[in-house]
Structure 1
Amino acid sequence: MVSLGLRFVGHSTVRMELAGHVVLTDPVLTNRVSALTRVTPPATAADRADVDLVLLSHLHGDHVHLPSLRLLHPHVRVVVPRGAGDWLRSKGVRRVDELAPGEELTHGDLRIIGVRAEHSGHRWGPRLTHGPQAEAMGHVIEGGGRRVYAAGDTDLFPEMAGLGELDVALLPVWGWGPTLGPGHMNPERAAAAVDLLRPRVAVPVHWGTLAVAGLPKAPGRHGRRMRHLLEHPPVEFAAAVADAGSPTRVLVTRPGENVRLPDTVRS
């Protein structure tokens, strides 16, 4: 087996080094995303260096972030949910491929398998009908004898139990605001996902990176709640997994840090 390296860049962005390739999931690499601001140290040039494959889970602006995509080399291969390729090309992204749940593609020695997600696929949210739309999805990345599941944004769905043996599951445990809308997992539901997936390692993502500008410093209960949510969801997720007696090892990793994978998974 070949080595696996993971770095939690922040939000849903993970840098993965596997089988001679560098993959980024849902890259958010700037300090602002519309009305949201990054509350952790900024992403660095090293986070995007040598990337040759980008996997986009759905079209929401905190997952398909056009200014971040434009920071990457123009010849990076970008995989977008099926039906959104023409829209992404119209925004200046040159090398675009489409993938849908149940489909797969190869990239060198990597195999990418599309997985369904329980989440809105519309660019502007579930209540609107105008604008680009494509089915939200996750990805299983295979290479060098390793299998990693990048869930994207999703709520629980029964088919999680059928994804097969996984070395690592990258699971969302919150979001960027004080509440969660439909199609998301909180720490308890993410722990239930672990029970279905049974990965060797789970890494909580989609937490602690973005917030509405000024809210974390706001006085009173709203600011206190936001500060709590920027820190506690991954810890609560790890506790829920442990309380369930799961053998899965949870690796809480702060945005901007390397995931300290155990030797049995890493090499």
Structure 2
Amino acid sequence: MDIQRLTLDPKQVLPPTRDLPSRRSLPDSLPDAKEVKVHPRGTDGTENASLYFVGTATTILEWAGIRIMTDASLRPGVSAARRTNPAVDLHDLPRIDLVLLSHYHGDHFDQSVEASLRRDLPIITTPHAKDHLTSKGAQDSFSNVHALDFFDRMIVDISSSTSSGNDKRSQIRVTGMPGKHVPTKPLQILNDLLQAVPPTNGWMVELGNSTSSSDFKVGYRIYISGDTLLVDELKQIPERYAGQNIDLMLIHLGGTTIPSPSLSPMTVMVTMDAKQGLQLIQLINPDLTIPIHYDDYDVFASPLDDFKAEVEKAGLADRVVYLDRKDQFKFKVSH
């Protein structure tokens, strides 16, 4: 399959929304972080990229002059009760260049955010989500949506860094990763009928560069699990990336249940709990892991403290960084 391409221009300063209140100007940057964290093994002060935790599965990645938002849950978006507030309001966001949308579900792309976003904002997502986002009529359809199925790949060029000759230009390579909300075939058939949870992707996000005379060179590799259980399909990831370091994993936890955990034992778990989260660390073997999507709704049945306990017991505490909403993690992308 041909690799898709997308070009982002950080000099094009447009608001992420189409309904920015007239009394508000577009901020130049994200709000100051409550706490800035770095790798547990220390830092030499040369970090050139950062990850800002907004809440649920929403983070904002900043590198090479651009900002990528993972999912877009900045307001309550599903029937479950939201327990936490996002770190920043939708209309207080600075310029956003790209959205990575793991799946078309209210706790990842809530209805008020969807209604507000600028219609030409670039979005990379699942084929299912693209079908929905581009079929809303002339006024409300999104016009710059790109679908990636499992292991489909897209190159994102950053235009301001493009130079002639052999000068390096910054690029991002995004690859769709497997994910599955529903663990068994009978439940999948039932879900297909009820359409309770949509198809979901994970992502491999590789930050790097290329020149006119060389292929893409990875400077930092981030695996984002998306809303998935620990299913056999995930075993393909370490097989395909054998011998290639995964610097960071953003792991969706929470042990989300349908319906609410208060109705146990009638519930079905649709995202990883603490034990599965530890098993995914052991399967993927990233240099560092940051848990997200862990306590924002009352359908989350597996507290973050349970994951911390599993990590401590496995002797992996120095390979996990914990972010609260409005915390920032800084890291270095090699040139």
TM-score relative to the length of structure 1: 0.78
- CA-CA distance at 1:139 after TM superposition: 0.4
Residue 301 of structure 2 is aligned to residue 234 of structure 1: no
Distance 2:65 2:47 in 1: 9
Match of 2:131 in 1: 86
Distance 1:260 1:86 in 2: 34
Match of 1:139 in 2: 203
- CA-CA distance at 1:103 after TM superposition: 0.6
**Which consecutive residues of structure 2, in runs of 5 or more, have no partner in the other structure?**
1-45, 158-170, 183-188, 209-218
Residue 78 of structure 2 is aligned to residue 34 of structure 1: yes
Distance 1:38 1:48 in 2: 21
Alpha-carbon spacing, 1:85–1:265, altered in 2? closer, same or farther (3 Å): closer
Match of 1:192 in 2: 279
Match of 2:225 in 1: 151
Contact 1:4 1:266 (8 Å CA) reproduced = no
Identify which range, 152-161 or 110-119, moves more after superposition: 152-161
SS of 1:7's equivalent in the other structure is: strand
SS of 1:195's equivalent in the other structure is: helix
- CA-CA distance at 1:249 after TM superposition: 1.7
SS of 2:307's equivalent in the other structure is: helix
Alpha-carbon spacing, 1:246–1:161, altered in 2? closer, same or farther (3 Å): farther
Match of 2:23 in 1: none
Q: How large is the RMSD of aligned CA atoms in angstroms?
A: 3.2
Identify which range, 47-56 or 145-154, moves more after superposition: 47-56
Q: Which amino acid aligns with 1:167?
A: D
Residue among 113, 116, 120 paired with 2:175: 113
Question: How big is each residue's C-alpha offset from its partner over 1:78-134, in whole Å with a ceiling of 9 and x where there is no partner?
Answer: 1121244232112322321111111110122211011111225xxxx9524377997
Distance 1:103 1:27 in 2: 22
After TM superposition, list the pairs within 5 Å mapping 1:1-267 onto structure 2. 3-30=48-75, 32-42=76-86, 43-45=88-90, 48-91=93-136, 92=140, 93-108=142-157, 109-120=171-182, 127-129=191-193, 135-144=199-208, 145-156=219-230, 157-162=234-239, 163=241, 164-174=244-254, 175=256, 177-178=260-261, 181-211=268-298, 233-246=303-316, 249-254=319-324, 256-261=325-330
Larger radius of gyration: 2
Contact 2:47 2:332 (8 Å CA) reproduced = no
Distance 1:136 1:34 in 2: 16
